[in-house]
Amino acid sequence: MDIFSLLLIFIAVEFFESNWQKSDSMHGLISNNFKMYKKSIFLYFTLHLSFFYTIFISIYMNNFSFWMSSILVIKFLDIAFKLNMMQKLSHGLPLEELMPINLNMTPLFRYLNVLIYPLSFVFAVGLA
Protein backbone atom coordinates (compact mmCIF):
# COMPACT_ATOMS: atom_id res chain seq x y z
CA MET A 1 0.00 0.00 0.00
CA ASP A 2 1.42 3.39 -0.87
CA ILE A 3 2.01 6.17 1.64
CA PHE A 4 -0.61 8.47 0.11
CA SER A 5 -3.34 5.84 0.64
CA LEU A 6 -2.22 5.34 4.24
CA LEU A 7 -2.38 9.11 4.75
CA LEU A 8 -5.91 9.34 3.33
CA ILE A 9 -7.05 6.49 5.59
CA PHE A 10 -5.41 8.25 8.55
CA ILE A 11 -7.33 11.45 7.76
CA ALA A 12 -10.61 9.51 7.43
CA VAL A 13 -10.05 7.73 10.75
CA GLU A 14 -9.31 11.05 12.47
CA PHE A 15 -12.53 12.54 11.02
CA PHE A 16 -14.47 9.53 12.31
CA GLU A 17 -12.99 9.92 15.77
CA SER A 18 -13.74 13.65 15.86
CA ASN A 19 -17.32 13.13 14.71
CA TRP A 20 -18.38 10.52 17.26
CA GLN A 21 -17.10 12.77 20.06
CA LYS A 22 -18.58 15.92 18.47
CA SER A 23 -20.08 18.48 20.82
CA ASP A 24 -20.33 22.25 21.28
CA SER A 25 -18.45 22.18 24.60
CA MET A 26 -15.75 20.23 26.41
CA HIS A 27 -18.32 18.93 28.91
CA GLY A 28 -20.39 17.62 25.99
CA LEU A 29 -17.34 15.88 24.55
CA ILE A 30 -16.67 14.18 27.87
CA SER A 31 -20.36 13.25 28.16
CA ASN A 32 -20.27 11.65 24.71
CA ASN A 33 -17.20 9.67 25.74
CA PHE A 34 -18.89 8.64 28.99
CA LYS A 35 -22.01 7.41 27.15
CA MET A 36 -19.87 5.07 25.04
CA TYR A 37 -17.84 4.01 28.09
CA LYS A 38 -21.05 3.09 29.96
CA LYS A 39 -22.29 0.99 27.03
CA SER A 40 -19.12 -1.07 26.85
CA ILE A 41 -15.45 -0.47 27.49
CA PHE A 42 -14.68 -2.63 24.44
CA LEU A 43 -16.86 -0.38 22.29
CA TYR A 44 -15.09 2.61 23.79
CA PHE A 45 -11.69 1.20 22.83
CA THR A 46 -12.78 0.27 19.31
CA LEU A 47 -14.06 3.80 18.73
CA HIS A 48 -10.48 5.02 19.19
CA LEU A 49 -9.54 3.67 15.77
CA SER A 50 -6.74 6.15 15.21
CA PHE A 51 -4.72 4.66 18.07
CA PHE A 52 -4.95 1.18 16.60
CA TYR A 53 -4.35 2.49 13.10
CA THR A 54 -1.20 4.25 14.28
CA ILE A 55 0.04 0.99 15.80
CA PHE A 56 -0.74 -0.77 12.51
CA ILE A 57 1.11 1.84 10.43
CA SER A 58 4.12 1.73 12.75
CA ILE A 59 4.40 -2.03 12.43
CA TYR A 60 3.47 -2.17 8.73
CA MET A 61 6.08 0.43 7.78
CA ASN A 62 8.52 -0.61 10.51
CA ASN A 63 8.68 3.07 11.42
CA PHE A 64 9.29 3.92 15.05
CA SER A 65 10.87 7.32 14.47
CA PHE A 66 10.44 10.27 16.80
CA TRP A 67 7.35 11.54 14.96
CA MET A 68 5.60 8.18 14.77
CA SER A 69 6.43 7.39 18.38
CA SER A 70 5.15 10.82 19.38
CA ILE A 71 1.81 10.12 17.72
CA LEU A 72 1.57 6.79 19.56
CA VAL A 73 2.50 8.26 22.94
CA ILE A 74 0.11 11.21 22.65
CA LYS A 75 -2.77 8.95 21.59
CA PHE A 76 -2.00 6.52 24.41
CA LEU A 77 -1.91 9.35 26.97
CA ASP A 78 -5.16 10.75 25.56
CA ILE A 79 -6.95 7.43 26.01
CA ALA A 80 -5.41 6.88 29.47
CA PHE A 81 -6.48 10.37 30.59
CA LYS A 82 -10.00 9.84 29.26
CA LEU A 83 -10.25 6.42 30.93
CA ASN A 84 -9.19 7.98 34.23
CA MET A 85 -11.94 10.59 33.82
CA MET A 86 -14.51 7.93 32.85
CA GLN A 87 -13.65 5.89 35.93
CA LYS A 88 -14.07 8.92 38.19
CA LEU A 89 -17.39 9.78 36.53
CA SER A 90 -18.63 6.21 36.97
CA HIS A 91 -17.84 6.45 40.70
CA GLY A 92 -20.18 9.44 40.99
CA LEU A 93 -17.80 12.39 40.76
CA PRO A 94 -19.68 15.28 39.11
CA LEU A 95 -18.36 16.44 35.74
CA GLU A 96 -18.18 20.05 36.97
CA GLU A 97 -15.83 18.99 39.78
CA LEU A 98 -13.71 16.89 37.45
CA MET A 99 -13.42 19.68 34.87
CA PRO A 100 -14.48 23.02 36.35
CA ILE A 101 -13.97 25.02 33.14
CA ASN A 102 -16.32 24.27 30.26
CA LEU A 103 -14.56 25.33 27.06
CA ASN A 104 -16.47 25.97 23.86
CA MET A 105 -15.50 23.66 21.00
CA THR A 106 -15.03 25.67 17.84
CA PRO A 107 -14.84 23.76 14.54
CA LEU A 108 -11.10 24.52 14.36
CA PHE A 109 -10.49 23.11 17.85
CA ARG A 110 -12.77 20.12 17.18
CA TYR A 111 -10.93 19.08 14.01
CA LEU A 112 -7.40 20.08 14.97
CA ASN A 113 -6.48 16.40 15.31
CA VAL A 114 -7.30 15.91 11.61
CA LEU A 115 -4.54 18.40 10.85
CA ILE A 116 -1.95 17.62 13.54
CA TYR A 117 -1.74 13.82 13.42
CA PRO A 118 -1.67 13.34 9.63
CA LEU A 119 0.86 16.17 9.36
CA SER A 120 2.99 14.42 11.98
CA PHE A 121 2.59 11.22 9.94
CA VAL A 122 3.87 13.07 6.86
CA PHE A 123 6.98 14.10 8.82
CA ALA A 124 7.36 10.57 10.20
CA VAL A 125 7.48 8.95 6.76
CA GLY A 126 9.69 11.67 5.30
CA LEU A 127 7.27 13.20 2.79
CA ALA A 128 7.99 16.72 4.00
Distances (CA, A) of 2 to 25, 32, 65, 125: 37, 35, 18, 11
Q: Quick one: pLDDT at residue 74? A: 97
Q: Quick one: pLDDT at residue 127? A: 83
Q: Quick one: pLDDT at residue 128? A: 66
List of the chain residues with pLDDT < 50 = none
